[in-house]
């Protein structure tokens, strides 16, 4: 039977008291570790959610800007049919040769190509309503002129518009993260989503677990792992967001240049329509020098715009796990060519 408490040696009593105090201390330490770990988990989740919100905002803004550019390119290409209808009425017109001046070369006017790209652009514009954010931007990323020609070639086969855009029905940004749009030969949106998901999924799994099922030590390890995963994801998200800002700035600059050329083209087209359809001047030999110059410059503007819309804004990366490259060299060259031609002719 147990000894009465008054018979327990003093030394043993002291040991029991010490053990009790140590137990309370260990419990308190464990509770603190659990609280610290829980605080870390909450901080991890909050910071990760802020990072993802920033990505989603940058992604949406950039995608909309790319869509604006892609839609403008398709509208310009589609408007070539109006030019072609008027231009073909002019009889005895000369062959408009290649423009080559100040380091800028534009191919000679090809009426058949102009008609083809116009019809193809019309097909793509007609299909944009059935797909989601990012479709038009996908065409700009891959080169709207090329996409329009592809559309004309596949329209009769029943090929979905979504398959012609590297990012249709979702958004261009994730497609670009996947090594480029499908139209440009990249992995497309699915690969991009996987690339982003790989950087963020682990955080959600760690943070979203039932953390109180662990002991203080295990919970502390789990919190540290979650924080490390969040920081890893944050690094990737920062890279992506910087890329999106750069892409947006580049596309906006190109949009402004394209709009400037298009405004000049539309004015020339309206004047040419007035000459041919209202004044009834349909014989090149009866054109005044001013009317001939206007016609020549309108043809030149069509070639200039055609070439501008051929530029791919992004290039597929060699490594499919890398973000696609913004095609800055080609974009800068295109803008410089525009400025040289406008300075020379307009």
37-87 residue pLDDT tens? 888 888 888 888 888 889 888 888 988 899 899 999 999 999 999 999 999
* The pLDDT of residue 277 is above 90: yes
Q: Is 194 exposed, middle or buried (0-12, 13-18, 19+ CB in 10 A)?
A: middle
> Which residue in the block uniquely carries the two structure tokens 């709009």?
259
Question: Cα-atom radius of gyration of the chain, to the nearest Å?
Answer: 32
**How many Cα atoms sit within 13 Å of 10 on the Cβ side?**
0
107-121 residue pLDDT tens? 888 889 999 999 989
Task: Report if residue 307 sits inside a domain.
Answer: yes
118-140 residue pLDDT tens? 998 998 888 777 666 777 888 88
- For the packed helices 328-345 and 289-308, what is the interaxial angle rounded to 10 degrees? 170
The pLDDT confidence band at residue 303, using thresholds 50, 70 and 90, is: very high
Task: Report if residue 305 sits inside a domain.
Answer: yes
Q: Which domain, by its residues, includes 56?
A: 36-345
Highest average pLDDT, of 126-130, 131-135, 216-220, 260-264, comes from 260-264
User: What average pLDDT does range 253-281 have in this prediction?
Assistant: 96
Task: Report if residue 254 sits inside a domain.
Answer: yes
pTM score, two decimals? Answer: 0.76
Task: Report if residue 11 sits inside a domain.
Answer: no
Q: How far apart are the C-alpha atoms of 101 and 47, rounded to whole Å?
A: 55
What backbone torsions phi and psi does residue 239 show, to the nearest 5 degrees? -60, -45
Task: Report if residue 18 sits inside a domain.
Answer: no
Task: Report if residue 31 sits inside a domain.
Answer: no
Contacts of 257 (CB under 8 A, 6+ apart): 308, 334, 335, 338
Q: How far apart are the C-alpha atoms of 70 and 140, rounded to whole Å?
A: 4
Task: Report if residue 135 sits inside a domain.
Answer: yes
Contacts of 89 (CB under 8 A, 6+ apart): 276, 277, 282
Task: Report if residue 19 sits inside a domain.
Answer: no
Listed residue (184, 142, 60) closest to 312, CA to CA = 142
Domain count, the chain: 1
Q: What pLDDT, on the 0 to 100 scale, is given for residue 132?
A: 67
Looking at every residue in the chain, the average pLDDT score rounds to: 76
């Amino acid at each position: 039977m147990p000894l009465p408490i008054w018979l327990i040696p003093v030394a043993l009593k002291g040991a029991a008291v010490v053990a009790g105090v140590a137990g309370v201390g260990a419990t308190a330490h464990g509770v603190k570790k659990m609280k610290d770990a829980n605080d870390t988990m909450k901080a991890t989740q909050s910071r990760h959610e802020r990072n993802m919100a920033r990505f989603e905002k940058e992604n949406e803004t950039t995608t909309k800007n790319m869509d604006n550019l892609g839609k403008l390119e398709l509208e310009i290409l589609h408007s070539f049919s109006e030019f072609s209808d008027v231009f073909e009425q002019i009889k005895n017109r000369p062959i408009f040769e290649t423009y080559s001046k100040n380091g800028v070369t534009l191919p000679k006017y090809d009426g058949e190509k102009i008609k083809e790209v116009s019809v193809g652009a019309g097909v793509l514009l007609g299909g944009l309503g059935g797909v989601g954010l990012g479709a038009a931007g996908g065409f700009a990323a891959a080169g709207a002129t090329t996409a329009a020609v592809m559309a004309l070639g596949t329209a009769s086969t029943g090929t979905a518009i979504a398959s012609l855009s590297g990012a249709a029905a979702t958004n261009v940004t994730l497609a670009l993260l996947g090594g480029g749009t499908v139209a440009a030969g990249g992995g497309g949106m699915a690969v991009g989503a996987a690339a982003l998901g790989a950087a963020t999924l682990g955080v959600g799994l760690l943070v979203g677990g039932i953390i109180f099922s662990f002991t203080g030590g295990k919970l502390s390890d789990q919190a540290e792992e979650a924080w490390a995963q969040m920081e890893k994801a944050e690094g990737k998200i920062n890279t992506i967001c910087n890329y999106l800002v750069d892409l947006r700035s580049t596309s906006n600059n190109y949009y402004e240049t394209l709009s400037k050329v298009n405004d000049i083209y539309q004015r020339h087209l309206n004047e040419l329509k007035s000459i041919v359809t209202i004044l009834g001047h349909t014989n090149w030999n009866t054109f005044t020098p001013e009317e001939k110059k206007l016609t020549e410059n309108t043809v030149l503007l069509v070639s200039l715009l055609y070439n501008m819309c051929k530029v791919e804004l992004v290039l597929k990366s060699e490594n499919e796990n890398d973000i696609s490259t913004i095609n800055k060299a080609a974009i800068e060259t295109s803008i410089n060519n525009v400025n040289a031609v406008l300075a020379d002719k307009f």
